[in-house]
């Protein structure tokens, strides 16, 4: 078990960042990190913090705060337990650091640096003044494979290139929507034929706690495709998790892909969405009263005739968060079944 400290000195809305460019063989090579290092025998976290700060920067810390503990796992190596601090009080004269180059960087420019993806997560926690936290980060090479905040797994997504192919970069969902990164989703439309030959669509009303479009009518079931997963398996999983529908893969009809972009603000936070959605239709019998709704995602469901859904979407009714292009794909498919 390794014990280390990591600290970000702050002043004038900037963090003191260390660009690790001096060592040839360094797991952090070319990345920007904070200052810190390994515990020496008999040291407490504070002892290690103060010593490392003096050795690497020349500053004596006078005011600092423990913000969280990060469990860092790299490949199959033993776990490193990292005590994460910020310090807003220090004195002394700066010195050259043999680990790399020290530079004061504006907090709003940190995200543009070459960082570990997990560091982006805890920078958001620091920015939001999140209470003391435990964050587990598991990497395979430079790729983040797992992130767990206070015992709850975080959703990780593949970032796509312009052609819709995974780039190899894996990023936490909240950061994806903050930056507007291109990512994958699965959309499932549940449809039933009426006696008059028309079709109804089952719409879900999004939970009012959702980070975007709270309380709006949406696709029957939809969700992100987790990093390393496929569109179809994600569609089956979403139906089960959100609505309690046990569906086989061969019961879903694939219509094609739909690319969507949106930029807005919810709860005072920017939300940018750029997704490649795989669109499916499910026409097996569904009793809306027998569904098991995932309360954190779905407030309610209702059947609505397809023409009404199209009309409200075309009028840009703010109570609907649907895409006309995708609905027309569904309409064309269903009309072909007549």
pLDDT in tens, the chain (338 residues): 899 999 999 999 999 999 988 776 777 788 999 999 999 999 999 999 999 999 999 999 999 999 999 999 999 899 999 999 999 999 999 998 888 899 999 999 999 999 999 999 999 999 999 999 999 999 998 899 999 999 999 999 999 999 999 999 999 999 999 999 999 999 999 999 999 999 999 999 999 999 999 999 999 999 999 999 999 999 999 999 999 999 999 999 999 999 999 999 999 999 999 999 999 999 999 999 999 999 999 999 999 999 999 999 999 999 999 999 999 999 999 998 86
Q: End of a domain among 154, 187, 220?
A: 154
> Do 108 and 248 fall into the same domain?
no
Same domain? For 43 and 132 the reply is yes
Domain boundary among 154, 170, 189: 154
Domain co-membership, 126 together with 224: no
pLDDT at 327: 98
Confirm whether 246 is domain-assigned. yes
Residue 66 lies in a domain: yes
| pTM flag (> 0.85) | yes
pLDDT at 29: 82
Q: Which residue has the tokens 């807005």?
A: 264
Q: Are 299 and 208 in contact (CB under 8 A)?
A: yes
Tell whether 188 and 87 lie within a shared domain: no
Backbone angle region of 151, left / alpha / beta, with phi > 0 → left and psi within -120 to 50 → alpha: left
Residue 120 belongs to a domain: yes
Check whether residue 6 and residue 128 sit in a common domain. Answer: yes
pLDDT of residue 22: 73
Are 15 and 145 part of one and the same domain?
yes
Distance of CA 249 to the CA centre of its chain: 26
Q: How far apart are CA 46 and CA 41, in angstroms?
A: 13
Tell me, yes or no, whether 53 lies in a domain.
yes
**188: domain CATH number?**
3.90.79.10
Domains contained in the chain, number: 2
Domain membership of residue 317 as a residue range: 179-335
Burial-class residue 207 by CB neighbours within 10 Å (0-12, 13-18, 19+): middle
State residue 98's pLDDT score.
Answer: 83
- Is 76 in the same domain as 218? no
- Tell me: do 58 and 109 sit in the same domain: yes
Query: Which candidate, 335, 302, 81, 93, places its Cα nearest to that of 205?
Result: 302
133/254 same-domain check = no
Q: What is the pLDDT of residue 294?
A: 96
pLDDT of amino acid 210: 94
In a domain, 305, yes or no: yes
295 and 190 together in one domain:
yes
- Looking at the fold, whether 73 and 132 belong to one and the same domain comes out as yes
On whether residue 323 sits in a domain, the answer given is yes
Q: Is residue 174 part of a domain?
A: no
Residue 238 covered by a domain? yes
Tell me, yes or no, whether 211 and 144 share the same domain: no
């Amino acid at each position: 078990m390794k014990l280390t400290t990591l600290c970000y000195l702050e002043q004038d809305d900037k963090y003191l960042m260390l660009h690790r460019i001096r060592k040839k063989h360094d797991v952090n090579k070319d990345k920007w990190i904070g200052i810190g290092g390994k515990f020496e025998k008999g040291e407490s976290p504070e002892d290690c913090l103060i010593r490392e700060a003096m050795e690497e920067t020349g500053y004596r810390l006078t005011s600092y705060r423990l913000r969280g503990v990060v469990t860092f796992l790299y490949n199959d190596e033993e776990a490193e337990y990292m005590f994460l601090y910020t310090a807003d009080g220090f004195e002394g004269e700066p010195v050259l650091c043999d680990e790399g180059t020290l530079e004061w960087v504006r907090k709003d420019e940190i995200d543009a640096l070459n960082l570990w993806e997990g560091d982006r997560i805890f920078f958001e926690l620091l920015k939001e003044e999140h209470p003391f936290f435990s964050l587990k980060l598991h990497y395979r090479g430079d790729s983040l494979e797992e992130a767990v905040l206070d015992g709850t797994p975080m959703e990780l997504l593949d970032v796509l290139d312009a052609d819709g192919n995974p780039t190899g970069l894996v990023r936490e969902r909240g950061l994806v929507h903050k930056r507007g990164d291109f990512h994958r989703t699965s959309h499932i439309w549940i449809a039933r034929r009426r006696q008059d030959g028309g079709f109804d669509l089952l719409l879900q009303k999004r939970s009012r706690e959702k980070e975007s479009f709270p309380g709006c009518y949406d696709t029957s079931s939809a969700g992100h495709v987790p990093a390393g997963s496929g569109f179809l398996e994600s569609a089956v999983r979403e139906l089960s998790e959100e609505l309690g529908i046990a569906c086989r893969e061969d019961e879903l009809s694939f219509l094609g892909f739909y690319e969507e972009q949106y930029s807005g603000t919810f709860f005072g936070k920017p939300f940018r969405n750029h997704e490649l959605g795989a669109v499916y239709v499910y026409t097996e019998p569904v009793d809306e009263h027998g569904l098991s709704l995932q309360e954190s995602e779905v407030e309610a469901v209702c059947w609505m005739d397809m023409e009404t859904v199209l009309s409200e979407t075309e009028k840009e009714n703010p109570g609907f968060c649907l895409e006309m292009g995708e609905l027309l794909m569904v309409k064309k498919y269903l009309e072909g079944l007549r």
